[in-house]
Structure 1
């Protein structure tokens, strides 16, 4: 009798049962985490949507821009007033609904003395930096656009090559160093609208005829929202683990 009890004890799948319990706990935890991520993502989308459609506000101070996380100010709608430094224009590789080409990045010297890079819009492949710069309006301008976080070093697949004037991300500090324009705001602005101001006196020279005009307003605002499907997947795996645990334990009883 004693030998039979020991044999039944040995047959109990304690290791497999422990594994299934751990898997069940892990899958439930991951499912709950995805539900929390879902709530956070929906709050982020609502916050960004409100920013994009809000009335534009002045550009925040540099210390605030440097202090807060990028996502806390991303897509904030701002209004800028100043004059472009067209000769410092940089072209950054871009892929948009209009095709492949470049973002036209031009520094804007604000009335308070600060400099901020402005993405004036998209120009098609084959456009040179000098041609894009020729489209820059002279004199005072007002720009309304969306504040964006700096994009240091390069894209996921390619690093910026300042020495060859090849840019794959909007790295504001590196672009400023390459063009020798000094300190810039640690962010950039995607222009939605650009309006030249008309001061009293002689009319300032405008863009050169035939210069390609950048197409503004192409900011891509997209946040992957797969958290619900991920949560359902983790909870389904948790349910399968629970069913497997019940099956293993019942089979042990049948074999006992």
Structure 2
């Protein structure tokens, strides 16, 4: 019994920690498959804007449309992938008798108060998106300056459909740097977590062996 209980406790702990490491490897495989699926959807041929876009079916779907800016833009303050720190310009666009939101891209902080957008038809290619930063627990908007791309709230503020297209390119080009949707912001830390769990399992096993050695020494 002097050896059995510590050995059993050590083996159970080792097995649990190894199981958690294997689970993280399985999560990594699932995440990689999900990212590959999203990237394939992003890079597909653009299609017309769906009549009733839904997040579950249409997130990241590529679209092409022609429209005219139809209202004052909203500014979203933040640090953006490939766009640096600045304001995202989210503006109402009228297209085919509908009004939706279009994320045109990023302007520098010092240009945020003077966003000049043309009153001409604009060809837009991009992707439907329901951004993750809308769920980041950010504070309420300050006037026309927002702190997250909350599609539903922005649509209510500008009287549009709760639909957001993130532009990848516009014709004519605008004085805004497009920041297309991508998978760079999707966390993929599972390999690191797996290594940590397997490392803890190794340490746990080593401590168990050392404890059993100490017990054996005392019984000699």
Structure 2 unaligned segments of length 5 or more: list them.
Answer: none
1:228 corresponds to 2:217: no
Higher mean alpha-carbon deviation, 220-229 vs 35-44, is at 220-229
Q: TM-score, with normalisation over the residues of structure 1?
A: 0.71
Give, in angstroms, the shift of residue 124 of structure 1.
1.4
Q: 1:14-163 maps to which residues of 2 (within 5 A)? A: 14=5, 16-17=6-7, 19-62=9-52, 65-66=54-55, 68=56, 73-85=58-70, 87-96=71-80, 97-111=82-96, 113-128=97-112, 131-132=114-115, 134-139=116-121, 141-150=122-131, 155-156=136-137, 158-162=138-142
Give, in angstroms, the shift of residue 231 of structure 1.
1.2
Q: Which residue of 1 aligns with 2:161?
A: 184
Q: Map Cα deviations across residues 41-64 of structure 1 (whole Å, 9 max, x no partner).
A: 2112222222232211223342x5
SS across alignment from 1:57: coil
Query: How many matched pairs?
Result: 217
Contact 2:130 2:151 in 1 (8 A): no
Q: TM-score, with normalisation over the residues of structure 2?
A: 0.81
Contact 1:102 1:124 in 2 (8 A): yes
Find the aligned partners of 1:194 and 1:123 in 2 and give their Cα distance.
Answer: 15
Q: Which residue of 2 aligns with 1:3?
A: none
Give, in angstroms, the shift of residue 150 of structure 1.
4.3
CA RMSD of aligned residues (A): 3.0
Residue from 125, 148, 164 that aligns with 1:169: 148
Spell out structure 1 runs of 4+ moving beyond 6 A: none
Q: Map Cα deviations across residues 68-125 of structure 1 (whole Å, 9 max, x no partner).
A: 2xxx64432222233321x2311111324454221111122231x4432111121111
Structure 1 unaligned segments of length 5 or more: list them.
Answer: 1-8, 197-206
